């Protein structure tokens, strides 16, 4: 089982939220120019397996480190990236991984879930089950096919809720155009709400409140920086600095003004800077809160 120390710091134990995580001499000008010196960020949701397969991982991780992003959580989406996810977590001390079958990757849930169960049985260095959930946005419009796809997603999601409980792991949830049904299945699975995060939260404050009432976590991507995301910013305001969790979802969803370009974990710094402006606080406060919340969430199984 991983310890908090080797999950989130490469050079020593983390003893408090104001303590410097790693050797500050390693940082380049980018961080210190911004008056950002005593805290680092954690990208709680990204897909570096893609950079790994392209042979660009070292460059991407170095850029992240220079932007004070000290740790990233590589999110699994299906059999095609599970092996890479595990390899990355074993190879890179600044990377943790999760394993899960993304709703849009569900095709033959029986065999896919069998593979997931057998991988989990080997006790891989995996800090959560995810990303899992329901995505009704990317499925067929044709009623019969749509219904079938929804059923398959529900089967996969419910089984993975069960696996998270079996292995006492947190759950990283993807819910798109399916918020109520996602809540219903979590309820039916008698989930531990405090160990669930709704990633890339893009819903209304009313829906955010439903999660907060249950003690469920909400995390935000660079979408908060987009011009047309006023509703998401209202939810961000409601969640507040205290409960903040941040992610890039790289290589997708690059923050403004890079929208449409490839996203990388280093851009988490831009998202954090935006939050500092938004909450009228220092970048260090954003880092302190979001890093503390990320650490608590992904280590809550231990």
Q: Which residue, 169 or 283, is less far from Zn ion as judged by CB? A: 169
C-beta of 131: minimal distance to Zn ion in Å?
Answer: 5
C-beta of 249: minimal distance to Zn ion in Å?
Answer: 5
C-beta of 41: minimal distance to Zn ion in Å?
Answer: 17
State how beta strands 171-176 and 126-135 pair.
Answer: parallel
Q: Which residue, 31 or 100, is less far from Zn ion as judged by CB? A: 100
Q: Which residue, 44 or 94, is less far from Zn ion as judged by CB? A: 44
Q: Which of 130, 161, 106 is nearest to 249 (CA)?
A: 130
Which residues bind to Zn ion, rule: CB under 5 A?
A: 249
Q: Which residue, 156 or 276, is less far from Zn ion as judged by CB? A: 156
C-beta of 191: minimal distance to Zn ion in Å?
Answer: 20
C-beta of 174: minimal distance to Zn ion in Å?
Answer: 7
Q: How many contiguous H segments (helices) and E segments (strands) does the chain have?
A: 12, 7
C-beta of 198: minimal distance to Zn ion in Å?
Answer: 12
Q: Which residue, 9 or 46, is less far from Zn ion as judged by CB? A: 46
Q: Which residue, 137 or 188, is less far from Zn ion as judged by CB? A: 137
Q: Collapsing DSSP states into helix, strand and coil, what is residue 130?
A: strand
How many Cβ atoms sit within 10 Å of the Cβ of residue 142?
10
- Alpha carbons within 13 angstroms on the beta-carbon side of residue 224 total 32
State residue 156 phi and psi, 5-degree precision.
-65, -45
CA dist 226 and 19 (Å) reads 32
Give the residue at shortest CB distance from Zn ion: 249
C-beta of 265: minimal distance to Zn ion in Å?
Answer: 12
What is the 3-state composition of the chain as percent helix, strand, coil, each rounded to the nearest 5? 50, 15, 40
Q: Collapsing DSSP states into helix, strand and coil, what is residue 286?
A: helix
DSSP-derived secondary structure letter, 271: H
E strand or H helix at 83: helix 79-91
Both tokens assigned to 144: 């019969």
- Alpha carbons within 13 angstroms on the beta-carbon side of residue 91 total 13
Which residue's entry shows tokens 């398959």? 152
C-beta of 75: minimal distance to Zn ion in Å?
Answer: 5
Q: Collapsing DSSP states into helix, strand and coil, what is residue 105?
A: helix
Q: Which residue, 21 or 86, is less far from Zn ion as judged by CB? A: 86
Q: Which residue, 50 or 283, is less far from Zn ion as judged by CB? A: 50
CA dist 73 and 294 (Å) reads 10
């Amino acid at each position: 089982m991983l310890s908090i120390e080797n999950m989130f710091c490469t050079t020593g134990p983390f003893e408090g939220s104001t303590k410097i995580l790693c050797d500050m001499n390693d940082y380049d000008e980018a961080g210190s120019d911004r008056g950002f010196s005593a805290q680092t960020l954690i990208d709680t949701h990204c897909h570096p397996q893609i950079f790994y397969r392209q042979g660009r991982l070292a460059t991407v991780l170095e850029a992240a480190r220079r932007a004070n992003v000290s740790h990233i959580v590589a999110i699994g989406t299906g059999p095609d990236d599970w092996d890479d996810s595990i390899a990355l977590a074993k190879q890179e001390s600044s990377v943790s991984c999760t394993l899960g079958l993304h709703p849009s990757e569900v095709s033959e849930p029986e065999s896919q879930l069998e593979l997931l169960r057998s991988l989990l049985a080997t006790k891989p260095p995996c800090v959560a089950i995810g990303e899992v959930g329901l995505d009704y946005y990317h499925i067929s419009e044709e009623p019969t096919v749509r219904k079938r796809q929804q059923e398959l997603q529900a089967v996969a999601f419910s089984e993975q809720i069960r696996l998270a409980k079996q292995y006492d792991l947190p759950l990283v949830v993807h819910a798109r155009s399916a918020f109520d049904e996602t809540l219903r299945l979590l309820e039916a699975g008698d989930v531990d709400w405090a160990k669930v995060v709704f990633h890339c939260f893009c819903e209304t404050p009313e829906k955010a409140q439903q999660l907060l009432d249950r003690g469920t976590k909400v995390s935000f991507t660079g979408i908060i920086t987009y011009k047309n995301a006023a509703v998401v910013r209202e939810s961000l305001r409601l969640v507040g600095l205290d409960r903040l969790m941040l992610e890039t979802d790289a290589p997708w969803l690059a923050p403004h003004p890079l929208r449409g370009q490839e996203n990388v974990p280093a851009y988490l710094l831009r998202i954090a800077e935006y939050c500092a402006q938004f909450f009228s606080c220092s970048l260090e406060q954003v880092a302190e809160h979001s890093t503390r919340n990320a650490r608590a969430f992904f280590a809550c199984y231990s």
